[in-house]
């Protein structure tokens, strides 16, 4: 086994758990947030700085690295860890989501996807076997099965077909996968249809994979639907395997994901938001680019202990951002990653102390809101499930 | 006195000297190269990283900071050191050069310069008094007198007028200058005319300033003319004051400047060149953006000990630069600053050991060239000087 997952604490009020993921490139405390290093770099940060802000594991994108600089080049460099000088664990996605969302003119058939590069329009084809081949060249610790990604909203029939394909492709990924030092995770699809989610999970569980991801959420659906499907889908995944929610990176969604038993998350949001001049602060967000902060000589977040908040003012950071100075992008990114990792640490602590309910209550109270009521939110979906069953 | 300058070693073969500059924000080993932090940030670098690569003093631009974020804002933040979190010495230029080279529609008269901002076209006026007022608000350790900057080539008469103005303006700067914790340097002008250079130096020396700069060189004149005027002008400056050559940052020019007795230099070149994908390496330069390095897994410079050369390959840095990744700009900048500061350290060591002649000979030999022959280069200029005398 390439990875080992163990649970050290279990919340008595929720499905949340605190654990540890061992990989060939070191251990990770879960629940973990993975910053995204799309092109083999978490934008603006060095690996040493990632460590400083608390990053333990990163995600990198198969689609992007395949196009540039090419998976064979990364392999020739000794693999992605060495190429980018990140010695910690890496997860690569399968390319399925990017082929669907970024490439021009993608055409899906039962065997794979033909697409044109978003960079130069050149034609390429990904199949499950090709995705695994690339991911083996990149050499991440955790790799993802190639899935059929559908938009939101999508008709039931198309979603059902995507589930079928995703299952068949997962089998093909398993057969193609050779490297013993990489763990292959499956991705549960099914859009917003509970019976499809159940079918997808059941079929993939038969493969007895070392971990499972929830895909196809946080793709534009209403918040309540996100919460309901998160709740229903997470319960379908095996208790003893890491559960990974793809593409979620705001504190509210992270908290609820963890509450529902998610162990791993990734998202470009904290870093992308930072480059757009918005930072996380206790209780919300702050757009430091705004004119209101031109003469604000206080730190981004007065309660924050990060390097940026110790040494720089809102006025200075705003000045840098307004003048397109790279240091501005570095400082907001640094702060946001520190913030999100601190948030994860607080969640892990709350689970270990079995006080996640209290933590969650206060979190929502600070925002003048109440936590999602899963019984209510899932009622409609459950009855839909019952009808089809 | 805001600063104290002492010379610890003197080259027996040249005018070079090794010394120390004490400022209210710490000591600097000379000869020193000052990276340029135009808008209150040395592009891509944190102050801690500047220290790591060997930066002891930086330059920042009065013109830019006056326009954005405004000198009053910087003053309200507690001064430039605090605003940008650089605790070491800072030198600000007077704005004269930027008003001349960057602004739109500048109009010089005997009292000052009226110009339009290169950002928004708004009208502004700099006088010697205004330049000093701004520089006092910024609070650098060394500030520069406001000079009348002329292009190359320029007619003798215009250059003579610029020298007259520069002298008169220097007197006005002295009268306007209040802060005892800042040292005011004069700038010798005179374009390529030796008698004007001599007149400018003599007139400014009468002010008994704590330091003198050579201005108006490295502005497009042929190399040989640069060397000749550098040689003639440096000898006009007092031995016991720091001598600062403005806007020079290539190893060959730096070496020759130091050979001629220059103690301080600044230039955007090492950092700008880095952002364009070209780095210094032993014996020359390397454009790492070039396709030739796509699969070159060696460091930028195999003999370099910097962080970048320890951990990253040319192939990776090229990949970052080709994809407009900020980390690429950071790594090339880091390396170039490390390189230039190492070069300065080597020069200081060679002076202290009184082996600068040998160092210089080898430097030029490695490049398949011979050092400038100042006797020959200055012959024409000296006869021109004799004629006018």
pLDDT in tens, B90-148: 999 999 999 988 877 789 999 999 999 999 999 999 999 999 999 999 999 999 999 99
Residue B294 at interface with chain A, using a CB cutoff of 8 Å: yes
* Inter-chain touch B327–A73, beta carbons under 8 Å: no
Among A98, A76, A90, smallest CA distance to A42 is for A90
Contact (Cβ atoms closer than 8 angstroms) between residue B92 and residue A314:
no
User: Is the pLDDT reported for residue A293 higher than 70?
Assistant: yes
The nearest CA of chain B is from the CA of A296 a distance in Å of 9
Q: Say yes or no: A187 and A297 in one domain.
A: no
Residue B107 at interface with chain A, using a CB cutoff of 8 Å: no
- The values of phi and psi at residue B261, to 5°, are 100, 20
Q: Is residue A199 part of a domain?
A: yes
pLDDT (0 to 100) of residue B381:
83
Q: What is the mean pLDDT of residues B78-85?
A: 98
Q: What is the pTM of this model?
A: 0.97
pLDDT grade, residue A142 (50/70/90)? very high
Domain with B174 in it: 4-267
User: B311: helix, coil or strand?
Assistant: helix
Q: Say yes or no: A100 and A165 in one domain.
A: yes
Q: Specify whether A93 is catalytic.
A: yes
* Inter-chain touch A313–B44, beta carbons under 8 Å: no
Q: What is the mean pLDDT of residues B199-222?
A: 97
Q: Say yes or no: B316 and B222 in one domain.
A: no
* Inter-chain touch A325–B45, beta carbons under 8 Å: no
User: Is the pLDDT reported for residue A102 higher than 90?
Assistant: no
Q: Specify whether B263 is catalytic.
A: no
Pairing mode, if any, of strands B142-144 and B278-281? unpaired
Q: Say yes or no: A51 and A190 in one domain.
A: yes
**What is the C-alpha separation between B5 and B17, in angstroms, rounded?**
12
Q: Say yes or no: A336 and A219 in one domain.
A: no
**Count of residues making up chain B:** 389
Q: Say yes or no: B129 and B75 in one domain.
A: yes
Q: Which of residues B206, B233, B267 is at a domain's end? A: B267
pLDDT (0 to 100) of residue B382:
78
> Which residues of chain A neighbour B315 with C-beta distances below 8 Å?
69, 73, 77, 83
Q: Say yes or no: B185 and B311 in one domain.
A: no
Q: Is residue B60 part of a domain?
A: yes
* Inter-chain touch A294–B83, beta carbons under 8 Å: no
Q: What is the mean pLDDT of residues A370-389?
A: 84
Write down the catalytic residue from B72, B266, B301, B373: B266
* Inter-chain touch A43–B315, beta carbons under 8 Å: no
Q: Is residue A378 part of a domain?
A: no
pLDDT (0 to 100) of residue B103:
78
Q: What is the mean pLDDT of residues A271-290?
A: 97
pLDDT (0 to 100) of residue B389:
59
Q: Which of residues B267, B301, B334 is at a domain's end? A: B267
pLDDT (0 to 100) of residue B253:
98
pLDDT (0 to 100) of residue A1:
75
> Which residues of chain B neighbour A323 with C-beta distances below 8 Å?
39, 68
Tell me the pLDDT of chain B averaged across its residues.
96
Q: How many domains does the structure of chain A reveal?
A: 2
**What is the C-alpha separation between A151 and A162, in angstroms, rounded?**
11
> Which of B327, B329, B330, B333 is best to mutate for the A interface (most A CBs within 10 A)?
B327
> Quick one: closest CA in B to A69, which residue?
B319
**For A144, how many CA atoms within 13 A lie in the half-sphere containing its CB?**
28
> Which residues of chain A neighbour B330 with C-beta distances below 8 Å?
44, 46, 326, 330
Per-residue pLDDT tens digits for A189-233: 999 999 999 999 999 999 999 999 999 999 999 999 999 999 999
Q: Say yes or no: B194 and B242 in one domain.
A: yes
> Which of A48, A49, A83, A316 is best to mutate for the B interface (most B CBs within 10 A)?
A316
Q: Is residue B373 part of a domain?
A: no
| Nearest neighbour of A323 by CB, restricted to B39, B77, B313 | B39
Residue A39 at interface with chain B, using a CB cutoff of 8 Å: yes
Q: Say yes or no: B261 and B307 in one domain.
A: no
Q: What is the mean pLDDT of residues B283-288?
A: 96
Number of other residues whose CB lies within 10 A of the CB of residue A297: 16
**What is the C-alpha separation between B188 and A38, in angstroms, rounded?**
52
Among B99, B108, B158, smallest CA distance to B131 is for B99
> Quick one: closest CA in B to A78, which residue?
B297
The nearest CA of chain B is from the CA of A74 a distance in Å of 9
**What is the C-alpha separation between A241 and A244, in angstroms, rounded?**
10
Q: Is residue A380 part of a domain?
A: no
The 3-state secondary structure of chain A, one letter per residue: CCCEEEEEEECCCCCCEEEEEEECCEEEEECEEEEECCCCCCCCCCHHHHHHHCCCCEEECHHHHHHCCCHHHHHHCCCHHHHHCCCCCEEECCCHHHHHHCCEEEEECCCCEEEECCCCCCEEEECHHHHHHHHHHHCCCEEECCCCCCCCCCCHHHHHHHHHHHHHHHHHHHHHCCCCCCEEEEEECCCCCHHHHHHHHHHHHCCCCCCEEECCCCCCCCHHHHHHHHHHHHCCCCCCCCEEECCCCCHHHHHHHHHCCCCEEEECHHHHHHHCCEEEECCEEEECCCHHHCCCCCCCCCCCCCHHHHHCCHHHHHHHHHCCCHHHHHHHHHHHHHHHHHHHHHHHHHHHCCCHHHHHHHHHHHCCCCCCCHHHHHHHHHHHHHHHC
Per-residue pLDDT tens digits for B338-356: 999 999 999 999 999 999 9
Per-residue pLDDT tens digits for A298-337: 999 999 999 999 999 999 999 999 999 999 999 999 999 9
Q: Say yes or no: B134 and B247 in one domain.
A: yes
Q: Say yes or no: B203 and B97 in one domain.
A: yes
pLDDT (0 to 100) of residue A274:
98
Contact (Cβ atoms closer than 8 angstroms) between residue B117 and residue B103:
yes
Residue B77 at interface with chain A, using a CB cutoff of 8 Å: yes
Q: What is the mean pLDDT of residues A87-109?
A: 92
Q: Which of residues B267, B301, B323 is at a domain's end? A: B267
Q: Is residue A387 part of a domain?
A: no
* Inter-chain touch A315–B84, beta carbons under 8 Å: no
Least confident of A97-111, A279-293, B193-207, B249-263: A97-111
Q: Is residue B117 part of a domain?
A: yes
Per-residue pLDDT tens digits for B3-36: 999 999 999 999 999 999 999 999 999 999 999 9
- Percent of chain B's residues with pLDDT above 90: 95
Q: Is A314 left (phi over 0), alpha (psi -120 to 50) or beta?
A: alpha
User: B128: helix, coil or strand?
Assistant: helix
Among B30, B22, B19, smallest CA distance to B4 is for B22
User: Is the pLDDT reported for residue B54 higher than 90?
Assistant: yes
| Nearest neighbour of B326 by CB, restricted to A84, A295, A326 | A326
Q: Is residue B387 part of a domain?
A: no
* Inter-chain touch B325–A77, beta carbons under 8 Å: no
Q: Write down the ipTM of this complex.
A: 0.97
pLDDT grade, residue A383 (50/70/90)? confident
pLDDT (0 to 100) of residue B388:
67
User: Is the pLDDT reported for residue B178 higher than 90?
Assistant: yes
**What is the C-alpha separation between B347 and B11, in angstroms, rounded?**
11
**Count of residues making up chain A:** 389
Q: What is the mean pLDDT of residues B280-303?
A: 97
* Inter-chain touch B85–A41, beta carbons under 8 Å: no
- Percent of chain A's residues with pLDDT above 90: 95
Q: Say yes or no: A201 and A323 in one domain.
A: no
Cβ within 8 Å of B, A 302-341: 311-313, 315-316, 319-320, 322-323, 325-327, 329-330
pLDDT (0 to 100) of residue B1:
76
- The CATH number of whichever domain residue A219 belongs to comes to 3.20.20.105
């Amino acid at each position: 086994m390439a990875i080992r997952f163990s649970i050290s604490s279990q919340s008595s009020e929720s499905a949340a758990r605190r654990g540890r993921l061992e990989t060939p490139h070191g251990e990770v405390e879960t629940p973990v947030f993975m910053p995204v290093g799309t092109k083999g770099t978490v934008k603006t940060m060095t690996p040493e700085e990632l460590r400083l802000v608390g990053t333990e594991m990163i995600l990198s994108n198969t689609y992007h690295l395949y196009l540039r600089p090419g998976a064979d080049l990364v392999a020739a460099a000794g693999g992605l860890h060495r190429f980018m000088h990140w010695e910690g664990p890496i997860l690569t996605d399968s390319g399925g989501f990017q082929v669907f969302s970024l490439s021009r003119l993608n055409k899906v058939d039962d065997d794979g996807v033909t697409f044109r590069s978003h960079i130069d329009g050149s034609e390429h084809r990904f199949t499950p076997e090709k995705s695994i081949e690339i991911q083996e060249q990149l050499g991440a610790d955790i790799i993802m099965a190639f899935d059929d990604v559908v938009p939101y909203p999508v008709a039931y029939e198309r979603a059902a077909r995507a589930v079928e394909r995703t299952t068949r492709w997962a089998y093909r990924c398993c057969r193609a996968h050779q490297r013993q030092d990489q763990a292959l995770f499956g991705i549960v699809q099914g859009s917003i249809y509970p019976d499809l989610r159940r079918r997808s999970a059941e079929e993939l569980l038969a493969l007895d994979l070392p971990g499972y991801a929830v895909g196809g959420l946080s793709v534009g659906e209403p918040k309540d639907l996100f919460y309901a499907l998160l709740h229903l889908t997470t319960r379908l995944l095996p208790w003893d395997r890491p559960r990974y929610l793809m593409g979620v990176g705001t504190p509210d969604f992270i908290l609820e994901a963890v509450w529902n038993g998610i162990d791993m998350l990734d998202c470009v949001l904290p870093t992308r938001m930072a480059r757009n001049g918005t930072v996380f602060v206790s209780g919300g967000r702050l757009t430091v680019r705004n004119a209101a902060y031109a003469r604000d000589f206080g730190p981004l977040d007065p309660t924050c202990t990060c390097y940026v908040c110790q040494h720089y003012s809102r006025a200075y950071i705003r000045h840098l951002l307004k003048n397109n100075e790279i240091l501005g992008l570095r400082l907001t990114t640094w702060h946001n990653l520190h913030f999100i990792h601190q948030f994860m640490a607080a969640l892990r602590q709350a689970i270990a102390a079995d006080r996640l309910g209290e933590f969650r209550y206060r979190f929502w109270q600070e925002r003048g809101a109440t936590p999602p009521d899963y019984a209510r939110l899932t009622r409609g979906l459950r009855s839909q499930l019952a009808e089809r069953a």
